[in-house]
Each structure stands twice: as structure tokens, then as C-alpha cells.
């Protein structure tokens, strides 16, 4: 198996003997020089870049990076910060943090900056080039969560994962939670934040899109309707001191800044399903676009709201 050099920082790195090829995950070089395996990419009929080596439904490109920015600011508004688990005191003293599905890396960068004594590791399928200076106590590691986390057991005091509903098939969730638990130290915390498909005061365009979304997701074994049960996932993994909360957020400008950000997130994300709706469900692109075009007015007219799920638990 290919050997990689050790770097300062996350000293707990260790390759695990998992039944996948060495190309399915690797430790990156410094983020500025890390590269993506282009053989794992393809373009959909709208020209959006996807990864072929994972069941992720959404693109991995510059437009998606921008959309993830909307999500980050929505969640930071919901949490009044970046934390749901009660780990503030721990992080002020130091400790190790893992951000699974780190996406743009913004959450991890902010945690690293806010808690300079902590060491923060981001983990995702690929790195995201950024012009923002990376904190010295932040490092990025590339890999596929569905193949396991390549970290030694009991390495992290705080393991954070959010918004991977479109990347994890329902039957893979027990394995994923098991991996999060394995790498989290005793008395350490695991935090999950997910968005499902539960809307209140939804109009006909919203309901139509959700029908399409459910059918597309099912082809990958993904079921967003189960995200309200992420707290139960932690219970099944025998975590303790579990805390759960459902936030009901406004969608649309009628809900102020928070509602507008969430609407912009959805209006940037939902059109990405056009190629899959066409290829899998035979929905004509113009019909799909007509439904998308009615959403914003509908959300404001119906004063639509949306559920977001927060859960955390402690490893015994």
C-alpha cells in the first residue's frame, strides 16, 4: 500500500486495514497542492461536475461551493454560533475535532480560529481550494466516509457531521454512526445536523418537487424522510446524554434574513436535480423548470416553513 509522509498536527493518523483499494482514500498533501482524481468525475447534461465514486446526489463544483455557503450561514443563525454539542469548555482547553463531510471547510476553519488550542481535522471526498488563509491548527484529509474513517480509535473529543443526507444511503447510516463512535474518545461528543424533507404550509410546486426528489433519492437508497430520526440513530449506537432538537425555519423573504438565506440555498440546490429528473423520471426539462420557477412566490404566499434536525450524544 502506498506510504505517505507524516505531518505535524493530527498525530493520531494511522492507516486501517479496510477492504478497499488504497485509491479510495488517501492523506492529502498541504491543501494548496492537493489534487482530485479526475478519473472519478463526470459532467451531467447541464455541465455540472459530479463524483462517480460515491452516491452523492449533488454536484461537486464551484456553484455548489457557493450554495454550501448559504447553508453554513443558515445553520450559524440557527445555532447562534457553530456548536450544538456542549463542547465549548472542552475546546477552550484544546482537544481534537473531526469535521466529517467538511465541504467548503468553512465550519472547521471557524472552529479552529475560535479555539486556537484545539486541533481540527476536515475530512471529505475532495478538498476545496480557497483564498482564505487556513488556520495553522486545521488540516484536511481526503477519503470516502462509506469506506470507513482512516483514523485511530478514540482520537477525537468532538466529532461533527452535518448535511450528508444526500450522500449516505439509509442502510449505511448504522455503519457511519459506528465509525463516528469508533474514532470518538470516551466522554467525547458526536454531533449530527441534517435537513430532511418535511415542510409545513407547502404549496403544489413544493409538493411536486418533493415527489420527484423522493423518487430520485430512492434510486441511490437515500431517504431524507428518516433524518428526523438522527437522535434515534445515536440511541441505537448506545450513546448517552443524547440531546435532540427540531428547528422550524421560515423559507422565503417573508421570514427575514434567515428565511431568505434558506430560500437561496434551496433555489440554488433544487435545480441541480433537473438532469436526474430528466434521465431517471423522464420529466421534460421545461416542466421541471416551470415548477422551480413557482417556488419562491409560493413560499412567500403560503409562508412555508421547514424542519432542521439537531442531535448530539456522548460516547460512554
Taking only the tens place, the pLDDT of each residue in 94-141 is 999 999 999 889 999 999 999 999 999 999 988 877 767 899 999 999
3-state secondary structure 63-91: HHHHHHHHHHHHHHHHHCCCCCCCCHHHH
Q: What sign has the CA pseudo-torsion 268, 274, 275, 277? A: positive
Asked if residue 30 is part of any domain, the answer here is no
Asked if residue 4 is part of any domain, the answer here is no
Residues near 116 by Cβ (< 8 Å), separated by ≥ 6? 135, 137
Asked if residue 1 is part of any domain, the answer here is no
Asked if residue 202 is part of any domain, the answer here is yes
- pLDDT value of position 133: 87
- pLDDT value of position 217: 95
Beta bridge partners of 51: 41
- pLDDT value of position 81: 96
Separation of alpha carbons 263 and 229, rounded Å: 24
Alpha-helical regions (H) of the chain: 62-79, 88-93, 106-114, 173-183, 204-218, 230-236, 256-269, 274-281, 285-302
Query: Can you give the residue range of the structural domain that contains 162?
Result: 40-314
- pLDDT value of position 41: 77
Can you give the CATH number for the domain in which 178 is found? 3.40.50.150
Asked if residue 239 is part of any domain, the answer here is yes
Residues of the chain predicted below pLDDT 70: 1-39, 42, 44-46, 48-50, 56-61, 131
Asked if residue 88 is part of any domain, the answer here is yes
Q: How many domains does the chain have?
A: 1
Asked if residue 9 is part of any domain, the answer here is no
Separation of alpha carbons 35 and 38, rounded Å: 9
- pLDDT value of position 192: 98
Q: Work out the burial of residue 300: count CB atoms within 10 Å of its CB; fewer than 13 is exposed, 13-18 middle, 19 or more buried.
A: middle
Of 233, 209, 203, which Cα lies nearest the Cα of 291?
209
Asked if residue 197 is part of any domain, the answer here is yes
* pTM: predicted TM-score of the whole model, two decimal places: 0.85
- pLDDT value of position 86: 98
Of 302, 17, 289, 297, which Cα lies nearest the Cα of 152?
17
Amino acid at each position: 500500500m502506498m506510504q505517505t509522509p507524516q505531518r505535524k498536527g493530527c498525530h493520531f493518523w494511522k492507516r486501517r486495514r479496510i477492504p478497499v483499494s488504497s485509491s479510495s482514500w488517501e492523506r492529502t498533501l498541504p491543501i494548496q497542492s492537493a489534487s482530485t482524481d479526475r478519473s472519478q468525475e463526470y459532467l451531467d447534461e447541464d455541465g455540472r461536475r459530479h463524483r462517480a465514486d460515491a452516491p452523492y446526489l449533488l454536484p461537486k463544483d464551484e456553484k455548489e461551493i457557493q450554495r454550501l455557503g448559504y447553508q453554513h450561514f443558515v445553520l450559524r443563525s440557527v445555532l447562534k454560533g457553530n456548536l450544538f454539542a456542549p463542547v465549548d469548555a472542552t475546546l477552550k482547553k484544546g482537544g481534537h475535532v473531526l469535521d466529517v463531510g467538511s465541504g467548503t471547510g468553512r465550519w472547521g476553519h471557524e472552529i479552529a480560529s475560535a479555539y486556537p488550542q484545539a486541533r481540527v481535522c476536515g475530512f471529505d471526498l475532495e478538498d476545496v481550494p480557497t483564498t482564505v488563509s487556513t488556520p495553522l491548527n486545521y488540516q484536511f484529509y481526503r477519503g470516502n466516509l462509506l469506506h470507513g474513517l482512516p483514523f485511530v480509535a478514540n482520537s477525537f473529543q468532538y466529532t461533527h457531521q452535518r448535511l450528508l443526507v444526500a450522500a449516505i444511503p439509509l442502510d449505511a447510516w448504522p455503519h457511519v454512526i459506528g465509525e463516528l463512535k469508533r474514532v470518538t474518545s470516551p466522554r467525547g461528543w458526536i454531533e449530527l445536523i441534517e435537513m430532511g424533507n418535511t415542510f409545513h404550509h407547502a404549496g403544489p410546486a413544493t409538493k411536486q418537487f418533493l415527489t420527484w426528489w423522493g423518487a430520485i433519492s430512492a434510486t441511490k437508497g437515500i431517504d431524507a424522510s428518516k433524518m428526523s430520526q438522527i437522535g434515534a440513530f445515536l440511541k441505537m449506537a448506545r450513546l448517552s446524554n443524547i440531546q435532540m432538537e427540531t428547528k422550524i425555519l421560515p423559507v422565503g423573504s417573508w421570514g427575514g434574513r434567515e428565511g431568505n438565506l434558506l430560500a437561496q440555498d434551496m433555489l440554488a440546490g433544487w435545480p441541480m436535480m433537473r438532469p436526474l429528473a430528466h434521465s431517471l423520471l423522464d420529466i421534460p426539462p421545461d416542466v421541471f423548470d416551470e415548477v422551480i420557477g413557482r417556488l419562491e412566490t409560493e413560499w412567500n404566499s403560503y409562508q412555508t416553513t421547514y424542519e432542521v434536525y439537531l442531535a448530539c450524544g456522548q460516547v460512554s
